[in-house]
Each structure stands twice: as structure tokens, then as C-alpha cells.
Amino acid sequence: MQNRQYGGGPQRSGQPTAGAPQAERIRKALDGAGAELIEFARETGEYLASGSEREKLSVSQIRNVLDDIQRMRTFDENRLQMLRPRLAYAAGRHQGRVKDLQSIVDTAIEMTNAGNFKHFKNLVEAIVGYHRYYGGK
């Protein structure tokens, strides 16, 4: 396992930054870089499943986002953009890792278009899978 900080950049209080290094990794994943998508999803899923019980992201919280995305058979910008306020609501309602998930998915939504929507869906699905693998409950 590589010894690098989450998101490829500096950390504050153990949380990932929403800065340029993380955004660049998300962009590469959405551009179809399979290895980058898997590595980013693994690190993210592990991070979201870590921390105290209060900080951890629950499977139901992360699953709701994935279910909404999977219902979209094709790229629908309006439905995709509506995920942003839903995630903001969840982040405001719950503490801990929900805000981190919101930051990651929000950044990915900003970069998603009809051409890379499939990769966006794969990224979120992989994050959910690794979250579960690393003990997300």
C-alpha cells in the first residue's frame, strides 16, 4: 500500500481537501483512467468507512446517492444537478464523512458530461463498493 495522503494533497484534521490535487484525480477518473478511478475509489471508500462511529458514513447514506445515480440510464444534466442540493442537505443534517462525500461527488458532478457519465457512475459505484469492503455499516 502506498504511503500517500488522501486526495494527493495535504490534509486538515484528517479530512481530505477539496483542492486541486483531488479534483485532478477525479478528472482523470472521469476521463477513463481505469487505474486512477479504482485507486481513488479505494482510498475514498476506505476513508469514508474510517473514524469514530459518529464520523463514519453509513451504507444507507452512501447507498441513497448511488441509487439516484443508477436510476439515470442516460446523462440527464437536470437530474444530476439536483443531486447537489440533496447531498448538501444530507451533509448539513449529518456530521462526519457525509460532508466529505458531498465534496467529492459535487466536484465530480461539475466535471460530468454526456461523454463521461458512464465513468461518473463507475466512480460512485466503486466508492460505495470499497466503502462496504472497508467496513462501512
Name the packing angle between helices 20-30 and 34-48 (round to 10°): 130
What's the pLDDT score for residue 76?
A: 95
* Sign for the pseudo-dihedral over CA of 126, 131, 133, 137: negative
Which position has the higher pLDDT, 14 or 89? 89
User: Does the structure show a pLDDT above 70 at 6?
Assistant: no
Q: How far apart are CA 42 and CA 39, in angstroms?
A: 5
Other beta carbons within 10 angstroms of residue 24's beta carbon come to: 14
26-70 pLDDT per residue, tens: 999 999 999 999 999 999 999 988 888 878 877 777 777 788 899
In the predicted model, is pLDDT for residue 85 greater than 70? yes
Output the DSSP codes for 15-67.
BPP-SHHHHHHHHHHHTT-HHHHHHHHHHHHHHHT-S-TTTSPPHHHHHHHHH
pLDDT at 60: 78
Quick check: 7 pLDDT over 90?
A: no
Of 69 and 11, the structure prediction assigns the larger pLDDT to 69
For the residues 99-106, what does the mean pLDDT come to?
Answer: 91
Q: What is the pLDDT of residue 120?
A: 97
Cell of 137: 455499516
> What dihedral angle (degrees, nearest 10) is formed by the CA atoms of 30, 93, 50, 65?
-30
According to DSSP, residue 7 is labeled G
**Phi, psi (degrees; rounded to nearest 5) at 93:** -80, -35
| pLDDT(14) > 60 | no
pLDDT at 11 over 70: no
pLDDT > 70 fraction of the chain, expressed in percent and rounded: 86
